[in-house]
Amino acid sequence: MWYRIAIVVILLPLLATLWSRYSAMHADQAEAAKTWLESRRLARALRLVAVALWWALWDLQRPPGLTLFSEILFFWIPPTVSIGISHVIACLTSRTILEQKWTSTDIVRLAWWGAVSPTIALLLVATGFESIYEKHLVGLLWLLIAGIAAQVAEIRSRSAEGLKLRKVKSGQAYIRAFQLAKQMGVKLERVYVVPAGKGHLTNAYGSWRSIAVTDNYGEFLRGSQLDYMIGHELGHVKRKHGIKKLLVVTLLFLVPALVLFILPSSPLPSRPIIDLTLMLGLNLASYSVSRRFEYEADRESVELTGDPKTAVHALANLCRVTDTPISCGRLVELFLTHPSFGHRVAAIAHVGRMDPSSIDEILQHAGLIETKLPEHTGT
């Protein structure tokens, strides 16, 4: 019975990806991209759940006397292979549905780094806590390695997507970024432009005293809408979200590790429950912090521009261009680093005291399906 459950857990990410591919390929052509992207959100959540369940099952039925080689073979390889294959299928499907121009080499790189973070990084976390259960401080080293692996994988994944920072010293984005930074009291030092590349990237980034935007932003955001987008990234810089997130996530994993190290060893039957609580709880808390920072950056930008309608227009245009679903289930959103479009717009409307009818007009103007906004929760 245990082996059957383990097989189902291991195959869960792969089966979810195959089902997502089937649903998208058989959807109406106009809705295929949205169907695929929406299902990928669910697949992301299922990957984390699968790794958490796999760790709990492993602790429940751990074979005695395992060598390091045996543990790598039986604990590490099954989820890594399953999730790695699911990433390959996802990249091939994205190339077809989203008309991305990935080469075979690009797909291999994307799949590998997609498997490293979060899968391999999470398995490193599990190994770290296993050592801490046994009162070995080397477990903290495993947690550190897991954090480094996740950061490296994120950087390399963006590189595989075609993220290449090109520092600029002129142009519309450069001039407006420094003008807006001065208004916000932000010390901005660098502005980068990123080629959209094979993956048709449409994104913007804010880090330590610098921001970056993909070169296709000017195609659908101009004037005050471009100001909102730049202001959002400057909001991240102003509030030092990059550093704060690093510190918060470090504490999220370090504090329970130290508590488990100090407290008496837990009985073996209770370990699977602790495993699930740690794996899901710590990651969901990390995602929650990321979403809160997005709300804060939106608020900074709206306060800067004084025009919440422009912010909604910009987000609506972004959703239209990228085929991003405008809503998702509340449970799925818990596994996202960014709030859904609906919740972001609801928060902006709350800050700007917007009339709901004006939001409907904006959505219709952008060609999006009219949606009922969720109530603002004070985030």
Q: How far apart are CA 320 and CA 301, in angstroms?
A: 21
Q: What is the pLDDT of residues 177-229, one digit of tens each?
A: 899 999 999 999 898 888 776 666 677 888 888 988 887 776 677 778 888 88
- Contact call for residues 347 and 298 (beta carbons, < 8 A): yes
- DSSP for 41-69 reads HHHHHHHHHHHHHHHHHHHHTPPTT--HH
Return the SS3 of 167. strand
- Residue 307 is classified by DSSP as -
Residues paired with 213 in a beta bridge = 193, 204
Using alpha carbons, select from 212, 114, 206 the residue that is nearest to residue 154. Answer: 114
Give me 133's structure tokens.
Answer: 């259960």
Distance CA 224, CA 34 (A): 27
The pLDDT tens digits of the residues spanning 83-130 come to 999 999 999 998 899 888 888 998 999 999 999 988 999 999 999 999
| SS3 per-residue string spanning 186-221 | CCCCEEEEECCCCCCCCCEEEECCEEEEECCHHHCC
* Cα–Cα separations (whole angstroms), residue 367 to 119, 122, 187, 319, 363: 37, 40, 37, 10, 6
Domain ranges of the chain: 2-161, 162-221+232-238, 261-379
Which of 306, 294, 300 has the alpha carbon at shortest distance from 340?
Answer: 294
Encoded tokens for 332: 């799925």
Token couple for 357 = 């009818």
Give, for all 379 residues of the chain, the pLDDT tens digit: 777 888 999 999 999 999 999 999 988 877 888 889 888 888 889 999 999 999 999 988 877 777 777 888 889 999 999 999 999 999 999 889 988 888 899 899 999 999 998 899 999 999 999 999 989 999 999 999 999 999 999 888 888 887 777 888 888 788 888 999 999 999 998 988 887 766 666 778 888 889 888 877 766 777 788 888 899 999 999 999 999 999 999 999 999 999 999 988 767 678 899 999 999 999 999 999 999 999 999 999 999 888 888 888 888 888 877 777 777 888 899 999 999 888 888 898 888 777 766 777 777 666 665 455 555 555 5
Fold of 162-221+232-238: Zincin-like (3.30.2010)
Write phi, then psi, for 53 (nearest 5 degrees): -65, -40
User: Structure tokens of 31?
Assistant: 């809705």
Q: Running DSSP on this structure, what letter comes out for residue 269?
A: G
Q: Does residue 166 sit in helix, strand or coil?
A: strand
Q: First vs last Cα of the chain: how many Å apart?
A: 44
CA atoms lying within 13 Å on the CB side of residue 322: 22
> pTM of the predicted model, to two decimals?
0.89
